[in-house]
Structure 1
Amino acid sequence: MTISNDEKKIFLQVLKKSPLRIGKNTVFTLMPVQSTHRIYTFEAENKTYVIKKFIEESFTQLNRPAIFNAQKDLASQGFAPMPVWIDCANGVWVEEYVSSQNVVFKPAQNQSLLGTVLAELHTIKIDSKLILHIDLPAQWQHYLEHLSQSEQEKWLHDIEQGTDDYNKLFDTEPRVLCHNDLSLGHILSHAPLIVVDWEYLAWGNRYFDIASAISINQIPLSQAHQVIESYAEKLGRSAQEVFNYVQAMKLCTQITNGLWYEAKNALPL
């Protein structure tokens, strides 16, 4: 898939407002990655950059400027690519390109890697004023608004139970920095730790983040023992306690993921 003329025109217009110096013959190369967004690389000033075109912003309702500033903090600590420019009106994000460095994905080790990386992410210190607090019931309500009445009704029972779980469990311990979308493909390097696609980052519940990562990577919770054990070992916690809390977050994860996909699919083509 090559870039359309319209999209290239938008990118060039956005980049002309950025601090980068580019020419009209700049080449945008589509990255071979699985993503909701269209992601390209391009060259400027002898460096490679990534440029993303987001899907319909009203669907996600994300605070992109806040995410931009938070990622700058993470990048200054070496945990993320440095963001360079954002244009919310056009839904365009630009950041420095970081190649995948030392992560070799082996099925037998993937779970351990995921658990260890989650544990390390949850210990990152960042200015709390830069990070939004996740509010799942409000997020669910926003996704519901994109669905028909009949589609909404089939979710009501689960949302009632999920809201109860959220209110009882989400703040049983202090919130931590959560990625909330950690697929193995988002881990570019482990030593040092570098992770991409931080658009759902938030102050959240560590067990919801673990449950989300397990779900995103299509690991049945009943078979996610290595994720749990690696996480618990890294932080000196009880593996059984971690498993129990992650299991308690399962419904919240299912609602969030299910509503996200249904709301996305309800967008006009």
Structure 2
Amino acid sequence: MTPALIVKALAEPLKLSGNAICESRQGGDVNRLFNITDGEREFAVKWSAGESFTGVNKHAQFTLQHSLFRQGIAPEPVWLSPDCTLWAERWVTTDAEPANNANSEDSIILLAFALHTIHCTAIDAPPLCLEPRLVRYFESADLESSHPLAEALRNVIDSGDAQQPPAEQAVLCHNDLSLPHIVRTGAGGAKPVIVDWEYAASGNRYFDVASCAAINQLNDEAALRLYKHYAALSGAAEEKVIFACEQQRRVVNVTAALWQAALETTNRQKVSEPE
């Protein structure tokens, strides 16, 4: 997908003028990111190529982000294509300094603050249901039953650590919180503004905290500081938070490994498909 094709596809739904400019920006492994500027209007556009192994219901996520926008912690989503391959939302200009070191104290404090804000957001979000999602990743990866990840998956499921928490314990989770996703820091008492809510769901807060540590590649000492800062903000006992996050760390590692395996298999299949 090229910038010119993005403008052509969005000209009518976004009512773009003939002066609209589209630029490709760095995206993730699943989506490509584009920026559209049209006069004073600016949009972020995410494009994904067809069916995704992730199983994410983009219609549900679009509705969820509308609610998050009204809560003041997410950009306003403005359009989702019928086939769900194109997603447009308002572009939010960041006030955050480039994060050169995720292990720094300032970065850890910002991550803990963002996590706490997300988890305190009262909103009706779909449940994560991690166990079936892990099975979907395994099946998409087309792994043999003798593969080490098959045993790791069985162990996680048998332990019960990946189960959906009871409704009264579940909270809104981002599940993909990296420092670049915090585009407004919440300085001066304001709420942070966070992007990329694709994996957001109601789930286990400690899985979200442990995922954040892994996604930002925190070393063990920095991860411990994240847990402690989060405990202080949430008013929970440090020992409880540290134990629960370490317990979820194994689930996070298996989730990441299965996700990566599914991505690699999906990419290989796309390459081998005839034109």
Same-fold call, TM > 0.5? yes
Closer, same or farther in 2 for the Cα pair 1:102/1:219, shift >3 Å? Answer: closer
* Stretch of structure 1 that moved more, 168-177 or 45-54: 168-177
Aligned partner of 2:65 in structure 1 is 71
Q: CA RMSD in A?
A: 2.3
Is the 2:130–2:162 contact (alpha carbons within 8 Å) kept by the matching residues of 1?
Answer: no
Q: Report what 1:261 is aligned to.
A: 260
Identify the match of residue 115 of structure 1 among 92, 97, 112: 112
Identity of matched residues, %? 27
User: What is the Cα deviation at residue 103 of structure 1?
Assistant: 4.7
Q: For 1:103 and 1:214, locate their aligned partners in 2 and report how far apart those are by CA, in whole Å.
A: 19
Determine the C-alpha separation between the residues in 1 that align with 2:32 and 2:136. Answer: 24
Q: Which residue of 2 aligns with 1:99?
A: 93
Partner deviation per Cα, 1:82-103 (whole Å, 9 max, x = no partner): 0000014150000000011145
| Secondary structure of residue in 1 paired with 2:141 | coil
Q: CA deviation at 1:36?
A: 3.7
How far residue 125 of structure 1 moved from its aligned partner, in angstroms, is 1.3
Aligned match for 2:139, one of 145, 162, 179: 145
Moved more, 244-253 or 54-63: 54-63
CA pair 238-41 structure 1, distance change in 2 beyond 3 A: same
User: What corresponds to 1:205 in structure 2?
Assistant: 204
Instruction: Give the 5 Å matches for 1:1-269.
Output: 4=2, 8-9=4-5, 11-16=7-12, 18=13, 20-24=14-18, 26-32=20-26, 36-44=30-38, 46-89=40-83, 91-103=85-97, 105=99, 107-126=104-123, 128=124, 131-150=125-144, 153-166=147-160, 170-171=164-165, 174-191=169-186, 192=190, 193-221=192-220, 223-267=222-266, 268-269=270-271
Q: Which deviates further from its counterpart, 79-88 or 24-33?
A: 24-33
Corresponding letter in the other structure for 1:62? V
Q: How many residue pairs end up in the alignment?
A: 260
Name the SS of the counterpart of 1:210 in structure 2: helix
CA drift at 1:8: 3.1
> Aligned partners of 2:50, 2:221: CA distance in 1, in Å?
35
Structure 1 residue 59: deviation in Å? 1.2
- For residues 224-254 of structure 1, give each alpha carbon's deviation from its aligned partner in whole angstroms, at most 9, with x where no partner exists: 1220111011111111110100111112111
Q: Partner letter of residue 114 of structure 1?
A: L
Measured against aligned partners, the alpha-carbon deviations of 1:14-51 in whole angstroms (never above 9, x if no partner) come to 441x2x21135532111246564211111235211111
> What is the CA distance between 1:157 and its match in structure 2?
1.4
Within 2, Cα distance between the matches of 1:26 and 1:152? 53
Secondary structure at the counterpart of residue 45 of structure 2: strand
Q: Structure 1 stretches of 5 or more lacking a match? A: none
Query: TM-score, structure 2 length as denominator?
Result: 0.86
Check the 8 A contact 2:140/2:262 in 1, yes or no: yes
Distance 1:90-1:73 versus aligned 2 partners, 3 A rule: closer
Structure 2 residue runs of 5 or longer lacking an equivalent are none
Which stretch shows the higher mean deviation, 234-243 or 157-166? 157-166
Equivalent residue of 1:89, what SS? coil
Contact 2:134 2:255 in 1 (8 A): yes
8 Å contact from structure 1 (residues 52, 94) kept in 2: yes
Report the CA distance between 1:185 and its aligned residue.
0.7
Cα distance change, pair 44–254 in 1 and its aligned pair in 2 (3 A):
same
Q: TM-score, normalised by structure 1?
A: 0.88
Question: Counterpart amino acid of 1:115?
Answer: A
Q: 1:33 to 1:108 in 2, by over 3 A?
A: farther
In the superposition, relative to structure 1, how do residues 93 and 152 fare at CA in structure 2: closer, same or farther (>3 Å)?
Answer: farther
